[in-house]
Amino acid sequence: MRLLEGQTALVTGASSGIGAEVARAMATAGANVGVNYPFDKPQADRVVSDITNAGGKAIALQADVSREDQVTAMFEKLIATYGTIDILVSNAGIQKDSAFADMTLQQWNAVIGVNLTGGFLCAREAVKEFLRRGVVPERSKAAGKIIFTSSVHEVIPWAGHANYASSKGGMMMLMKTIAQELAPKKIRVNSIGPGAIKTPINESVWSNPEGVASMCKLIPYARIGETTDVALVAVWLASDQADYITGTTIFVDGGMLLYPGFRTGG
């Protein structure tokens, strides 16, 4: 079933990990896809080739999502290529971990800049186009869909990661606030909150058996997630099958939020 036939999606941070898989899955579901990358062009080109070799449509779009001028130019190029945008997956994210007392302003600003300000800038440009164009019933019941890649750390505090957890907590209120503001305009805004998914961001954990065993203590479903676990949810959430869903986070976490420490009585 091609749930996103004829729609255009932009996926930020699509040159690796979750974003790359979401880009491929959205193309398989029939969408034209903008594959955003910040610096790593060969990786983005590989994702574009995966899509075009499978018969889909995609272009690579360079932009550092924390830079307003680059975000604006990226949207202009996407819209010049495919005519409009129907779906934004604001996925680009980084970590710069540090004990709180040692955290530099540079580490703080870098993470907030990409994860939160980047989400704001991309969502704002997408919303401008959704409002200009309105609903096109042949394509979708909604005028536009935004999906943020958040994290279980929009809820779970994370020692040593104050910048990252704050960026995802902020993202939750950004998502809910604009969902509330834009629902009357038929724009749906949601987040996906991954738990631990095997990607380059956490390779140091899943690439050795001790790391996997220790991580699985936090995951009742007892496996580390795959990027496809997230990508399939993203396609469905962007589709009209999820038309009545706005303003919420769908956690894709194998039960990480179930307080597994209490499974044996706490």
Known catalytic residues are: 164
The least distance separating ligand NAD from the CB of residue 264, rounded to whole angstroms, comes to: 25
Both tokens of residue 79? Answer: 């819209």
Distance CA 150, CA 147 (A): 9
- State which residue, 37 or 130, has the beta carbon closest to ligand NAD: 37
Q: Is 56 in the site for ligand NAD (CB under 6 A)?
A: no
- Binding residues for ligand NAD restricted to 62-81, rule: CB under 6 A: 64-66
Q: Is 112 in the site for ligand NAD (CB under 6 A)?
A: no
Q: Is 93 in the site for ligand NAD (CB under 6 A)?
A: yes
Which residue of 59, 73, 94, 136 would you call a contact of ligand NAD, by CB under 6 A?
94
Sheet containing 8-11, strands listed edge to edge, beginning at the edge strand earlier in sequence: 57-62, 32-37, 8-11, 87-90, 144-149, 187-194, 249-252
**Interface region with ligand NAD, contact rule CB under 6 A, candidates 35-43, 48-56, 133-141, 231-239:** 35-43
- Binding residues for ligand NAD restricted to 175-234, rule: CB under 6 A: 194, 196-197, 199-202
- State which residue, 62 or 139, has the beta carbon closest to ligand NAD: 62
Both tokens of residue 231? Answer: 């990508």
**Residues binding ligand NAD: number (CB under 6 A):** 28
- State which residue, 8 or 16, has the beta carbon closest to ligand NAD: 16
The least distance separating ligand NAD from the CB of residue 200, rounded to whole angstroms, comes to: 4
**Interface region with ligand NAD, contact rule CB under 6 A, candidates 13-21, 76-84, 130-138, 240-248:** 13-21
List of residues contacting ligand NAD (CB under 6 A):
12-13, 15-19, 36-38, 40, 64-66, 91-94, 114, 149, 151, 194, 196-197, 199-202
